[in-house]
Amino acid sequence: MNNDVAVEGSASGPSPAIVAATYPRFRWLVLAAACLCIFSAQIAYLEYAPLLGEVAKNLGINLGAAANLMTVSVLFGAIAMMAGGVLCDRYGIGPIIIAAAACCTIPATLTPWFGHTYPALLCIRVIQGLSLGCWVTLSVVANQWFPPGQRGLAIAIPNTFNGVASLIAVIGSPALFQVAKSWQRTMAWISVLGWVTLLFAIAVFWFSKSNVTPVDTGEIHATSSGSCNQAWKLPITWIGLLLTFVILWVADSIGGLTPSYLAVARPVGVGYGPMAAGQLMAVALVGVIIGPLLAGIFLDWGLKPRSVLLLGFAMSSAFFFIQYSFVHGNKLVLVACLTVICIAIAGALSTILVLGAATYERHIVGRVVGVWLGIGNIGGAAGLFVHAEVLKRSGYYIGVIDLITVAIVLGLVLALFAASSPATEG
């Protein structure tokens, strides 16, 4: 196993001459395909969230059943990440990205014809959920196509596209609905972006297969004896899995519950109302775009992954203070606090993917990171469920905020253990 990898900086990476000879410029088109796929998959996942009320009304179902349209996508996305890691290692990233683009695009296009019953819509959401498996390609793209000094940026850019997609889905979906007057047509119109992604990915990987292949270089992997079984004997593998679980537990819980905390009337919540709460969260979500870029820059400049993770969890612990009036009582302070939290969590997730890309050999990186992301997304769904139950039983958000803070502290401790792992030391 690659215990001598220096993931912490470009200083230990190959020289510019080696990069030019080994890593073709075509790698940026490969990265662009991954970016567009992440972008399209995230839009396909989130485009329903603002319209769940309209979907429920149109299909004659309750809001809880409509919310399951989001849950089923997350669960099948987790399965796709684990399966996609295996397929990625065996067949390469091209088929995975193309299949993911097809899964998020074709069902959306067909929604006006097949989206008129709840069972049919569940099937559509299952297929669209499978597109989230494209996340596993990020570490593989960075591992196979980019030198160590560029891997932070190679993973940060797609993560930034994910943040932009989240904003577009939340804002664009309701706006298009106002024009289309039908949520089914809204989904079909949004799928135009997916068709661009699908055609671009087919073109890129057809050209890649015919002309260019990534090279497994000696300076990246000193040995070739690693296997998936050996990987699971390393402490860093389990630490990475637990860190991913905690990060997504925290991220999904904060993203899913904070808007309602800000909107609901006192003493249960803060009392800003739905409109103001949505505006505040929209501004704070800019941090999801900034966070991966900052993490990627810091990693490529030479900051150790453990340092970025520790910094990320330390910054995200600011979430504890939003329960106090000196934070939530001042909109400027509140937005600043939420933005810092979004930057920290998004940067931590990006750092985990960089760590996976730099720690494992090219023929197993997809499988290991796929398990990390798959189990992590199950953790995200579990976190939402647990915190929703706490909210239901207590009737207040304070207990939820405290529990999320406990998870953040756990992540901080895990990051400290990751610091002592030989696979992460330069």
pLDDT of 232 strictly over 70: yes
Q: What is the pTM of this model?
A: 0.84
In this predicted structure, the answer to whether residue 221 has a pLDDT above a threshold of 80 is no
Interatomic CA distance for residues 166 and 149, integer angstroms: 28
pLDDT of the residue at 274? 74
CB 191 within 8 A of CB 176: no
* pLDDT at position 183 over 70: yes
Mean pLDDT of 287-316: 93
How many residues appear in the chain? 426
Q: What is the signed CA dihedral for 376, 308, 168, 117, rounded to 10 degrees?
A: 0
Return the SS3 of 361. coil
**Where do the H-state alpha helices sit in 181-273?**
183-211, 228-231, 235-263
pLDDT of residue 225: 35
Mean pLDDT value across the chain: 86
pLDDT band at 210; cut points 50, 70, 90: low
Specify the long-range contacts of residues 169-177, CB closer than 8 Å, at least 24 apart: 169/42, 169/43, 169/45, 169/46, 169/47, 169/49, 169/50, 170/46, 170/49, 170/50, 170/282, 170/285, 171/282, 172/47, 173/46, 173/47, 173/48, 173/49, 173/50, 173/51, 174/50, 174/51, 177/51, 177/54
Q: What percentage of the chain reaches a pLDDT higher than 90? A: 56
pLDDT at 252: 87
**Residue 227: band (very low, low, confident or very high) from pLDDT cuts 50, 70, 90:** confident
pLDDT at 344: 96
Do residues 259 and 281 make contact, with C-beta atoms less than 8 angstroms apart?
Answer: yes
Torsion 67-44-42-238 (CA) sign: positive
Give the mean model confidence (pLDDT) for residues 250-273.
86
Mean pLDDT of 268-288: 84
Contact 268, 257 (CB under 8 A): no
Query: What does the H/E/C string look like for 397-419?
Result: CHHHHHHHHHHHHHHHHHHHHHH
Percentage helix, strand, coil for the chain under 3-state DSSP, each rounded to 5: 80, 0, 20
Cis peptide before 267 (omega within 30 of 0): yes
Task: Collapse the DSSP code of 302 into the 3-class scheme (helix H, G, I; strand E, B; otherwise coil) and give the result.
Answer: coil
Residue 214's pLDDT band (cuts 50, 70, 90): low
Tell me the one-letter amino acid at 251: A
- Percent of all residues in the chain with a pLDDT value above 70, rounded to a whole number: 89
Domains defined for the chain, CATH in brackets: 10-212+224-424 (1.20.1250.20)
**Average pLDDT, integer, range 403-414:** 96
Residue 425: its pLDDT value, please?
40
> What type of residue is 11?
A
172 has pLDDT over 90: no
pLDDT digits (tens, 9 = 90+) for 37-93: 999 999 999 888 888 888 888 999 887 788 788 888 988 999 999 999 999 988 889
pLDDT over threshold 90, residue 209: no
> Is 50 exceeded by the pLDDT of residue 106?
yes
Q: What's the Cα-to-Cα distance from 201 to each of 38, 81, 206, 292, rounded to whole Å?
A: 12, 19, 8, 23
At 352-408, the pLDDT tens digits run 999 998 888 888 899 999 999 999 999 988 888 888 888 888 888 899 999 999 999
In the prediction, which pLDDT does 256 show? Answer: 79
Q: Residues 121-163: pLDDT tens digits? A: 999 999 999 999 999 999 999 988 898 889 999 999 999 999 8
Q: How far apart are CA 331 and CA 329, in angstroms?
A: 6
* Single-letter amino acid, residue 111: T
**Whether the Cβ atoms of residue 56 and residue 65 lie closer than 8 Å to each other:** yes
| Most distant CA pair in the chain, distance | 63
pLDDT higher than 80, residue 289: yes
